[in-house]
Structure 1
Amino acid sequence: MNRNAFLPGVTGIALLLLVAVPVAFVVLQAVFPHLDTGSYSAPFSAFTRVFAEPALRELITTTLKVGLGVALCSALIGVPLGALRGLFALPGAALWDVVFLIPFLLPPYIAALAWMLALQTNGYVQQLLPGMHLNDFLFSLPGMVVVMTLNVFPVVYFAVSRSMAASGSRLADVARIHGAGPWRAFIRITLPMALPAIASSLLLAFTLSIEEYGVPGALGSRSGILMLTTGIEQRLADWPIDMPGAAVLSLLLVAIALCAYSVQRAVLAGKNVESMTGKPADVTQKSLAGWTLPVLALFILVALIAVALPIVSTLVTAFSGTLSGGLSLSNLTLRHFDNLFASHGDALSALSTSLSLALGTALVAGATGFLASWLVVAQKIRGAALIDGLSLFPAALPGIVVGVGLILAWNRSFWPVTPYNTWGILLLSYCCLLLPYPVRYVSAALRQIGANLDAAARVHGATAAQALRMILLPLVFPSLLASMMMVFAVASRELVTSLLLSPAGVQTVSVYVWRQFEQGSVGDGMAMASIAVLLSLTLMLIAFRLQQRQTS
């Protein structure tokens, strides 16, 4: 075997199994509805049937309303906060960055369940403020948009704050000297320079919201509000199972995400604003002066609503004996945590399963992402564009589409060996969804290193594999480790593919929490959620710290 072709071959096979196969089977099942019987008859008839359904318009309309609503609300929160953080000397700036990182790292389905406990009738907010009746608002389309926004707005906040801090205020100060007012200088100078970052973050907010299943599943199912994600799940869960219909809806969801990306590129075409002076931007942040207290009050208000309330709601439920007991010292208990660690319970099994799968995902996705990045950035082999596209394409794939693709791909009689109905199918789904993390981190690190060290090693007789193992791997290892820790944290609490693909008798942390709510064991579910959130937040914060050290 050609040693030079071994690593590219292994990487190519891994990308085919993780990404290409499930995506291909979604397309094939949508085009050929009788594929499961080995027949290629009546092509595209599933499209005709699904498009003729009266409910389809409502599914698409609701999905678009939620996506646009979350993007708009995220802009209303994230852009002002990001501008204040990037342009002004905000007291405790680093602390606020950590605080606003928490909502984005909080699993959306756990946040939705926490908001339910807080705002539903006789919930915690109503117990503290008897005049507040927010149950009807929560279980409505605007309520879903608000809950999603409070999870997603940090992507806008961080993009805007970093962009405005990098561009500085020097050009705006020049405009002020020439007679422009502060608002005119901000709107005509500072804001246009941050426009690419704003547009990219709003696109991400839109795609994250239309691909989300946990919040619509928790809130929308109780109010009759259906999105494409919940519509796909219904076709897979309700009898008779409609695989072709699920595949068609999956392609529609991917098409909406790709259309959003195209619109973003069209809006930004020719509108990038750059400084042409050749000098580094002045990053000196201005004083807030008399606005310090009002700005801090704004940050505190957002933090209390987006961070404190759902986390406190989760913890209070985990330590409460019964929901009917309300907020009282006599209702405090450790019983739910005792139930988790009881030898006869399912909680320990679910936790060990999630941790094992998360570790396997981190290793497989990390290795595949590292090799793919090396082949694309350092080796620049023939077919690098295809490898790069396959490794990053899962970023545009909703989790539910990956789940549908894996069911369609591996639930076939012609495979001699299949991971379907085993824990292996969960490993494949997690690796597919989370592969872009190591690819992005390692690619950025490799570009910083450049090609000189690899070339020097090759000149002195090292093979490509030796240069990779002895030079490049040690240099990019901090970034790779950070990405693997993020993969581990996200995989340990992934919901939608776990619900779709978990074999009988196999539970993960997310499935356990979801099932406990369905069965009415809310305290046990929130106790498990508390452990999962603490683990995820700790690992992700360590990962971000490692990445900052690598890039500083």
Structure 2
Amino acid sequence: MRLLNSRDRLGWGITIILFLLVLYPLAAVLIQVLLPGVFSGVWKLGDWSLLLEIFNRPLWQKSLENSLLLGLGTTLLATTLGTALAVIRSSWSFPTAKLLDGAVWLLIITPSFILAQGWVLFAAGGGIASELLGWSWVRGAIFQPAGLIFVMTLSKFPFAYLSVYAAMEWKVDGLSHAARLCGASAMTVWRTIQAPLLLPAVLAGASLVFMDTIGDFGLPASIAAVYKFPTLPYSIYSAIYTSPIRFDMAGVLSFYLVVLIGLAMMLQFYMLRRSRFDFLSGGAVRSKPSADGRFAFLLGLLNILFLLIIIGIPVGANIIISLLGTQGGGYALANLTLEHYRELFSSSSQLLTGFGHSLIIAVSAALLGLLVGLGVAYVLTYSKFKFKRLIEVSSILTLAVPGVVLGIGYIFVWNQKWLESIGLLLYGTPWILVLAAIAGAVPVITRLMVGAMAKVPVQLLTAAQLQGDSFIGRIRFILIPLIRGALLSAGLAAFGSGIFDLAVNSILFPPKFLTLPVTINKAFENLDFGYASAATIASSGIVILIILAVELLLRRKEVA
């Protein structure tokens, strides 16, 4: 009974924490639309007709149209591309296949604004494509809706790829063999048996692509310097950082953004229930790519060309531009310089200050997020807490909800006058960035922790409790040593994601408290491409080295 009570107390504590970090800010966005003055102490029913103004105000309507066009177009193309690549990767063995897997993960963890900046530097007028390669047509091809969908597709297809690739880990050849014995062709077998079995994974991947695309802030923020393409996330940001501040506009656009993402999640759950196939049985075997070498060389070559596009262009463009003295000087050897890198580390550089601030925020969020994620995973794995499903949904919600919406909610929640009397007026302080970073890190940490805890039987904890060990003692001396590797991976993942979160940082950064992503993005907006590219390459390299050094040190200590 004492064990159950301790778990219930933990469950209630985690519920309250997730409510403050996630549910309350998101609810505040919707409440602000219905009761616009409630967070200022004014109880007055809002003008609900304002929700319909999105169809009358040109900027609001255009933002909605662009987001839908970008989201639907990217979902269609990225899901098709990701599914095709996953099928090829699972079916045939070819050289450089591991490089494709690595590139997929690199695209997932790389902030979208960095990838978008690389494409802008490549395709813009006077950019690499036109000046170095002589491809003047690239600018017109990229800076249009279809081109932006193409760029977004190349950065979002990993969600569909991983979803389908994971679903193809096991196969039941008996079904296909039976169909072939009945006279079905290979195409018929694929269309009637294999494709329907993959449908849930394809739909799951498509929903992830749509939600991540429609809430993406990085691409519109990066292309704003050279091409005007307002979307819901960027217009929400503009409403907060223009004079006068338009909380009504931010609230309405956030409402529609949340509704679109909610509809996508509901559609996914509905389709998955309608398309459930339990096909794993005693006849299931782990799938292995075919060793047929007839097309291996061709697939390997095509894969290299594909990687040069999806990784080489955005990363390579940043490297090249960071080494140019001036844009007008052309791509000659005489124009190559390290001056931008020297400028980064000068005493007057804003990058060092912003990088220091981001390091503090990321480290704080990683450590505190580990505590929250550990508690969430414990409740989900071992507890019979009656609101466990609410905790599970809340812990993954920030994966789907855009950072700009979460940031708007934090403004409404933590910018109330009565909080000042109790010392909790966090808006305008770095602590609000830490809270937002924790909210963003909890889903990743929780998923890693749940997977690790699933391997630790509850009987170990129960036996320790029967011997008189305390709840904290069981966690400290039994559970943590057994999942230490997962804890390290979760902490480093949270640290890396917290460093480069542009959306939340752009919405919530306090006055005169610049952070790394804001510093890079401001340099890019000011058309200081050389400095912005050098800052991107240098900061990314430093963060990677920090992660590798910490992992090497702690992993070696763990082995010793």
TM over 0.5: yes
**Cross-structure match for 1:438:** 445
Report deviation, 1:360.
0.6
SS at match of 1:279: coil
Change (3 A) 1:192 1:534: farther
Match of 2:513 among 506, 510, 513: 506
**Cross-structure match for 1:365:** 369
Alignment coverage as a number of residue pairs? 547
**Cross-structure match for 1:182:** 186
Q: Which has the higher contact order (CA 8 A, sep 6+)?
A: 2
Report deviation, 1:423.
0.9
SS at match of 1:435: helix
Gaps of 5+ in 2: none
> In terms of mean alpha carbon deviation, does 21-30 or 364-373 score higher?
21-30
**Cross-structure match for 1:219:** 223
> In terms of mean alpha carbon deviation, does 70-79 or 165-174 score higher?
165-174
1:23 maps to 2:26: yes
Contact in 1 for aligned 2:344/2:531 (Cα 8 Å): yes
1:397 maps to 2:401: yes
Contact in 2 for aligned 1:314/1:526 (Cα 8 Å): yes
Match of 1:195 among 194, 199, 208: 199
Report deviation, 1:294.
2.4
Report deviation, 1:9.
5.4
Structure 1 Cα separation of the partners of residues 8 and 166 of structure 2: 41
Report deviation, 1:365.
1.1
Change (3 A) 1:308 1:4: closer
Match of 2:430 among 423, 428, 440: 423
Change (3 A) 1:544 1:294: farther
Structure 2 Cα separation of the partners of residues 192 and 52 of structure 1: 39
Structure 2 Cα separation of the partners of residues 277 and 7 of structure 1: 38
**Cross-structure match for 1:38:** 41
Gaps of 5+ in 1: none
Contact in 1 for aligned 2:382/2:458 (Cα 8 Å): yes
Contact in 1 for aligned 2:465/2:474 (Cα 8 Å): yes
SS at match of 2:455: helix
Report deviation, 1:222.
4.2
Structure 1 Cα separation of the partners of residues 92 and 516 of structure 2: 41
Structure 1 Cα separation of the partners of residues 375 and 135 of structure 2: 58
Report deviation, 1:280.
3.3
**Cross-structure match for 2:469:** 462
Contact in 2 for aligned 1:486/1:543 (Cα 8 Å): no
**Cross-structure match for 2:110:** 106
Match of 1:482 among 482, 485, 489: 489
Structure-1-length-normalised TM-score: 0.92
1:473 maps to 2:476: no
SS at match of 1:321: coil
Contact in 1 for aligned 2:464/2:474 (Cα 8 Å): yes
Contact in 2 for aligned 1:70/1:148 (Cα 8 Å): yes
> In terms of mean alpha carbon deviation, does 298-307 or 12-21 score higher?
12-21
**Cross-structure match for 1:406:** 410
Report deviation, 1:264.
2.1
Structure 1 Cα separation of the partners of residues 291 and 407 of structure 2: 50
Contact in 2 for aligned 1:402/1:432 (Cα 8 Å): no
**Cross-structure match for 2:525:** 518
Change (3 A) 1:50 1:126: same
**Cross-structure match for 2:353:** 349
Report deviation, 1:83.
0.6
Letter in 2 for 1:395: L
Change (3 A) 1:543 1:69: farther
> In terms of mean alpha carbon deviation, does 301-310 or 476-485 score higher?
476-485
Match of 1:244 among 248, 260, 278: 248
- Identity in percent: 26
Contact in 2 for aligned 1:138/1:219 (Cα 8 Å): no
Change (3 A) 1:402 1:413: same
Contact in 2 for aligned 1:105/1:537 (Cα 8 Å): no
Superposed, 1:222-233 pairs within 5 Å as: 222-233=226-237
Match of 1:255 among 249, 253, 259: 259
Query: Residue deviations 1:497-521, cap 9 Å, x none?
Result: 1111111111111111111112232
Query: Residue deviations 1:469-504, cap 9 Å, x none?
Result: 211122222112212111111110110111111111
